[in-house]
Structure 1
């Protein structure tokens, strides 16, 4: 029997293929935008921990990059970051897209899950996009592949069934300490979150090969008079042609990126912000170890 008086805490990995809604799920659970979201695959590049503190528990969600077949060193880093998390946590949420059939990508992840002893919960996301009659066959197809501790259909976007999911996770949390203060919602420094918010807007506003060639580095954050925060950021791309696309005709696209990102940054910082954006070329940065390290991909 679980002791109601005992405080429980644990680390929960959120894994799945790219673009199944992992970051949306974490943001909805936390109640604030920390992990960036995009309809482009492989949006999340690093492990991001978000903290949910309740009266009798603290859950530490680790949002991971989507597990996929890597095509460059950055991709290799992303997959290793996701796979290494499985052995470091108390529970695993395997998030799948209700609108997609169980395929090779899901089978690949399930094979990795068979190598661990951690409780695994299947989270069938995007149920707002399917009929109720379509849900049962989806669940059945996964039940035959792996002995999940629980299967919870959710809509991360519409926040459907999230309380049920949290209740299932709570059953498996070990008795433990409060790792972080009540008001802390992420272990990520503001600098990294701001860089990611800018990258998110660039992802939304660009097409084809451009999104995956983008990295953002924050060079300066400083206080200015009238409670304004000055942020200077550099958007890195791999080729001169990409630089031209990001800037846009007469600087139009870069201005759009800045305007949209500034709103999220101001919400994060709770202060007015002057966002100073620059675009620079770092040739083939996704395959260069020194540049990957400088951008935080250790």
Structure 2
């Protein structure tokens, strides 16, 4: 049997469900999720191997119009991820086309790659038929390879998506071991899981310009692993919010992140978390490079 291998980049504006889709298709948590725009800042790879097909799903940051600092870096990451893919999956919200969807389409149109339009969140519509006028409208915007109404939350039409993508993949040997699902370094995964719990815990009390810098883990008793993490904030006020009364909020964040990481790594994980004020880091090139933000990642 002929093997097929390729990269499927999931692109779109912020908060349309890209990370949730990748997690659902992989069957494991490879990308963090939250209701905060731009939760995903890096190019995240998740590998699905089924039969003679290996698909590398590329979760990308939401495309936006940032022109400097962190916003620019995030946007360039999204664009470079799309450029390097074999197939594009552009995701939109079933509740309507947005001006920012036009910005995404304007970019991917010139790539001339097979592009699937994934109309997500159909489960939020009062009637399934309400998606039909949107499909008719967007079909006039671009000659998409296929337009699929989907619901990531309910799994609707995801099996069909997988079947279509597998057939579209280029012929070629697998690029990764069949059992592998993640590509990211462990330190990166630790930082992402901590940042996710910060967003879940503090909500909109602090801006999204929070980062986590993690140093390499070391073995502990009982085959566990300890990681040291610095949470970067930009003011004393933000530090107080993340810390919480008597450090209670940070302790809760660490506890939840440890549980998630232990499940992901299959071994006990310990975290030593500190909060550091790094004013202006989002516009400081050396800080962005240290944290791994940028298309080269």
Common fold by TM > 0.5: yes
Secondary structure, in 3 states, of the residue corresponding to 1:213? coil
Distance 1:17 1:163, change over 3 A: same
Query: Structure 1 residue 220: deviation in Å?
Result: 3.9
Matched, 1:228 2:237: no
Q: How does 1:70-81 map to 2 (within 5 A)?
A: 70=66, 72-81=68-77
Q: Aligned residue for 2:117?
A: 122
Q: Aligned residue for 2:99?
A: 104
Secondary structure, in 3 states, of the residue corresponding to 2:184? coil
Q: How does 1:121-270 map to 2 (within 5 A)?
A: 121-130=116-125, 131-208=127-204, 210-270=206-266
Residue by residue, what CA displacement relative to the aligned partner does 1:176-229 show, whole Å, maximum 9, x if unpaired? 110000111121111111110100000111233624121011124111112232
Q: TM-score, normalised to structure 2's length?
A: 0.95
Partners in 1 of 2:199 and 2:205 — Cα distance? 10
Partners in 2 of 1:56 and 1:290 — Cα distance? 43
Partners in 1 of 2:227 and 2:183 — Cα distance? 20
Query: Structure 1 residue 171: deviation in Å?
Result: 2.1
Q: Aligned residue for 2:61?
A: 65
Query: Structure 1 residue 86: deviation in Å?
Result: 2.3
Partners in 2 of 1:77 and 1:234 — Cα distance? 21
Query: Structure 1 residue 71: deviation in Å?
Result: 6.1
Q: Aligned residue for 2:48?
A: 52
Secondary structure, in 3 states, of the residue corresponding to 1:11? strand
**Residues 33 and 196 of structure 2 are in contact (CA less than 8 Å); yes or no, is this contact kept in structure 1?**
yes
Residue by residue, what CA displacement relative to the aligned partner does 1:62-105 show, whole Å, maximum 9, x if unpaired? 11100012164111011111112222111000011113x21210
Q: TM-score, normalised to structure 1's length?
A: 0.95
Matched, 1:285 2:276: no
**Residues 220 and 233 of structure 1 are in contact (CA less than 8 Å); yes or no, is this contact kept in structure 2?**
no
RMSD: 1.3
Secondary structure, in 3 states, of the residue corresponding to 1:198? helix
Higher mean displacement: 121-130 or 71-80: 71-80
Partners in 1 of 2:270 and 2:82 — Cα distance? 40
Partners in 1 of 2:240 and 2:164 — Cα distance? 49
Secondary structure, in 3 states, of the residue corresponding to 1:206? helix
**Residues 202 and 211 of structure 1 are in contact (CA less than 8 Å); yes or no, is this contact kept in structure 2?**
no
Structure 2: any 5+ residue segments left out of the alignment? none
Higher mean displacement: 48-57 or 216-225: 216-225
Q: Aligned residue for 1:113?
A: 108
Query: Structure 1 residue 273: deviation in Å?
Result: 2.0
Structure 1: any 5+ residue segments left out of the alignment? none
Secondary structure, in 3 states, of the residue corresponding to 1:86? helix
